[in-house]
């Protein structure tokens, strides 16, 4: 339910309504606007009608139901786009589009530092690299784990770039959170509800990738799991979905950006690397994503893609990445954004 306070409602009235919401067993989520405050009352859907009683409380103008199943992620409670800030320079959801770049996997100190310096020189604002890798084969490289996290932290120290890295399981969540500036929930874990609840307890940005075969609605419900725990810093990441087409690794659903714009205030990043699986297609899909209104881009870059321990076929060389950045800046300018 949304409790709409009157214009000019006092601090005390707002506090009292929040206390009453808690007494009824719901969690209040106040959103303080320029003209008025609205309070989302989130919790058990079954007897939410009781919240209607608040309509007679001092300072309350009306109580209206939230129709969409994603209460906090949707636009009914919060209409303004959410800004998710990372480090000193990157803000997802603003005019400037942050670019996350780096290798699929962290392989060595030298590899991650060299990549970090190269992508920074080309204009990237965040560094990516996996230390825990969800691999199709149990015999494939699984990641350097804590050693990899330390290498990422070293690369951050020498470049100043904040770090995005994946957490696959709750047992290492505290460890990953100690090193990461943004925690990535990978496509395969998009509906790992216990993991979503656990990252919801953090107060750090979460990059929530779309599941391989999940609808936009399911994706937003996963965002809702994180937000319901109080962590509002959710960034969505479209990374392609499974279709009948096999010419590309996945099918990039660019229209998801437009759909999400009408459904959520959360920022949307596009990952053309995992979406296409082919380095040669990354540039065009990056430009298309920027033109379509993406709030961020994530690109895999490796100093020597042929020798990459994972996802070499879709990784760009630093030189190719610099070329993409040059063109992406021009497209961003054409649509009123900046890179």
- Is the CB of residue 316 less than 8 Å from the CB of residue 279? yes
Size of the site for Mn ion (CB under 5 A): 2
20 vs 300, beta carbon nearer ligand PEP: 300
38 vs 101, beta carbon nearer ligand PEP: 101
* 276: its two tokens: 């296409």
Q: Exactly one of 29, 78, 120, 209 binds ligand PEP (CB under 6 A); which one?
A: 209
CA 203 to chain CA centroid, Å, is: 13
Gap between the Cα atoms of 26 and 19, Å rounded: 10
* Element containing residue 261 per DSSP (H, E): helix 255-263
Give the nearest residue (CB) to ligand PEP.
186
128 vs 265, beta carbon nearer ligand PEP: 128
Taking the complex as a whole, the smallest distance from the CB of residue 137 to ligand PEP amounts, in Å, to 13
| 100 lines the binding site for ligand PEP (CB under 6 A) | no
Gap between the Cα atoms of 73 and 82, Å rounded: 10
Q: How many residues does the chain have?
A: 339
| 239 lines the binding site for ligand PEP (CB under 6 A) | yes
| 249 lines the binding site for ligand PEP (CB under 6 A) | no
- Is the CB of residue 17 less than 8 Å from the CB of residue 23? no
Gap between the Cα atoms of 276 and 282, Å rounded: 7
Gap between the Cα atoms of 322 and 52, Å rounded: 56
29 vs 239, beta carbon nearer ligand PEP: 239
| 1 lines the binding site for ligand PEP (CB under 6 A) | no
Taking the complex as a whole, the smallest distance from the CB of residue 288 to ligand PEP amounts, in Å, to 18
Gap between the Cα atoms of 70 and 181, Å rounded: 26
Taking the complex as a whole, the smallest distance from the CB of residue 14 to ligand PEP amounts, in Å, to 41
| 274 lines the binding site for ligand PEP (CB under 6 A) | yes
Q: Exactly one of 134, 215, 243, 319 binds ligand PEP (CB under 6 A); which one?
A: 134
Gap between the Cα atoms of 310 and 111, Å rounded: 13
Identify the CA nearest to 260 among candidates 295, 225, 311, 226: 295
- Is the CB of residue 297 less than 8 Å from the CB of residue 286? yes
Give the nearest residue (CB) to Mn ion.
104
Taking the complex as a whole, the smallest distance from the CB of residue 130 to ligand PEP amounts, in Å, to 5
56 vs 136, beta carbon nearer ligand PEP: 136
Gap between the Cα atoms of 144 and 107, Å rounded: 7
| 268 lines the binding site for ligand PEP (CB under 6 A) | no
Stretch of 48-56, 62-70, 185-193, 325-333 contacting ligand PEP, by CB under 6 A:
185-193
| 283 lines the binding site for Mn ion (CB under 5 A) | no
Report the site for Mn ion in 100-139 (rule: CB under 5 A). Answer: 104
- What CA–CA distances, in Å, run from 14 to 1, 27, 52, 75? 15, 14, 16, 21
Query: From the list ligand PEP, Mn ion, none, which binds 249 (C-beta under 5 to 8 Å, kind-based)?
Result: none
Name the DSSP letter for residue 127. Answer: E
List Cβ neighbours of 333 (8 Å cut-off, separation of 6 or more): none
**Sites of contact with Mn ion (CB under 5 A):** 104, 311
List of residues contacting ligand PEP (CB under 6 A): 104, 130, 134, 186-188, 209, 239, 274
């Amino acid at each position: 339910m949304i409790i709409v306070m009157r214009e000019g409602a006092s601090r005390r009235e707002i506090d009292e309504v929040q206390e009453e919401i808690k007494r009824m067993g719901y969690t209040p989520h106040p959103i303080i606007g320029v003209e008025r405050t609205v309070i989302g009352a989130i919790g058990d859907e079954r007897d939410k009608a009781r919240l209607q009683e608040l309509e007679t409380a001092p300072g309350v103008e009306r109580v209206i139901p939230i129709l969409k199943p994603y209460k906090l992620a949707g636009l009914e409670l919060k209409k303004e786009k959410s800004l998710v800030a990372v480090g000193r320079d990157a803000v997802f959801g603003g005019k400037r589009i942050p670019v996350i770049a780096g290798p699929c996997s962290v392989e060595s100190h030298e590899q991650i530092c060299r990549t970090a310096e190269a992508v920074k020189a080309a204009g990237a604002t965040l560094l990516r690299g996996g230390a825990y890798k969800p691999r199709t084969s149990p015999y494939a490289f699984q990641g350097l784990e804590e050693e990899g996290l330390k290498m990422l932290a070293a690369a951050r120290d020498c470049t100043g770039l904040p770090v995005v890295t994946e957490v696959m399981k709750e047992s290492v969540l505290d460890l990953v959170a100690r090193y990461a500036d943004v925690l990535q929930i990978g496509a395969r874990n998009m509906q790992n509800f216990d993991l979503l609840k656990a990252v919801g307890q953090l107060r750090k940005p979460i990059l929530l990738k779309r599941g391989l075969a999940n609808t936009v609605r399911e994706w937003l419900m996963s965002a809702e799991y994180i937000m319901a725990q109080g962590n509002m810093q959710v960034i969505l990441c479209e990374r392609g979905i499974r279709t009948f087409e096999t010419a590309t690794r996945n099918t990039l659903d660019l229209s998801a950006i437009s759909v999400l714009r009408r459904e959520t205030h959360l920022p949307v990043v596009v990952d053309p690397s995992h979406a296409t699986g082919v380095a040669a297609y990354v540039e065009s899909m990056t430009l298309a994503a920027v033109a379509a209104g993406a709030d961020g881009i994530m690109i895999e870059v490796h100093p020597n893609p042929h020798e990459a321990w994972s996802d070499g076929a879709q990784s760009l060389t630093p030189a190719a990445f610099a070329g993409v950045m040059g063109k992406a800046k021009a497209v961003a300018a054409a649509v009123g954004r900046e890179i």
